[in-house]
Structure 1
Amino acid sequence: GEIFDSSVGKNNASSQRSPSSLEISLQNQLRHLRSERKSAVKRLDAQLQEAISVENGLIKTQVTQKDELNDIRLKISDLKINRNLAKSKAQDEIIDLQTQMSNLTRSIDEKVGHLQASEIEESRPNKALREEEKKLKSELLRILRESEACISGGIL
């Protein structure tokens, strides 16, 4: 009877027995792995959030750069238009100046023609004018000599 009782006791003990050291070790490893998994998931979540944040920052930067690039393109376009307008205006001004020069040249040629015609008419001997011209020339020569004397003498 005792042997049977002891085997019954063992069966009873095995259903309520304390866990073996291997089971305890495996349970500890399982808890440790679950904890590591949670930490890894948290780390990966944080890295994912950081990556999303970086991506959003890059997208914003890209949008900003596209806007800046479009602004630069518009400025270049405006500058080209202004340059072409300035070229056109300069060409118009050149044509205008050439026309003015041509008109002046024609006017001068006409005046020279009139002067030559009047000189021919006035070329008749006029003694009083020639005397006045001689006086003025001698006066001019005297002033020039005095000026040269002053310059060489260091007066001026």
Structure 2
Amino acid sequence: MSDQAASLRAWAASQERDKAPEAAPTAPSCKQQLVVIGLPSPTYDECQRLCAPVLQRWQANGRRWVGDAAEWGFIAASLEGHDWSELASEHARWALWIDNDMQSFRRAYSHLKHLAKTQKVQQIIALHPPMQSRRGLLSNLQSAAKQFLGIQLLVFAE
């Protein structure tokens, strides 16, 4: 794992970025790595702040596949600063951050369209803050992803 993280850090350092944030490496002790797209600010700290509580919530609710939520590492990927095709070749687990603001559908769908162009990721986990109902935003996004992009958006009931 550390070799993969080292090569990702080396690649990120060699890229010329004026406004694109750097993908932060994950801790070598992480057993699972999750590439996260759709973040308001695609940095490791933001990714950790928003996504770790979701995995902790799922673990507490008995989702056994999560295992120990603390053993997950995150790679924050931005539209501008990363080769998603390369990331998809290196990492099998992807997640889409979906906020609960008015622009969430547009932002999330834009990221899904970009991901669909890689033709390498067919499933992606929906990470989101607690929501009253999955009807509406999450269901619409799940349907659009499947129907128009061929991507299965995995939405877990709370």
TM-score (norm 2): 0.18
Larger CA Rg, structure 1 vs 2: 1
Higher relative contact order (CA 8 A, sep 6+): 2
More helix by share: 1
More strand by share: 2
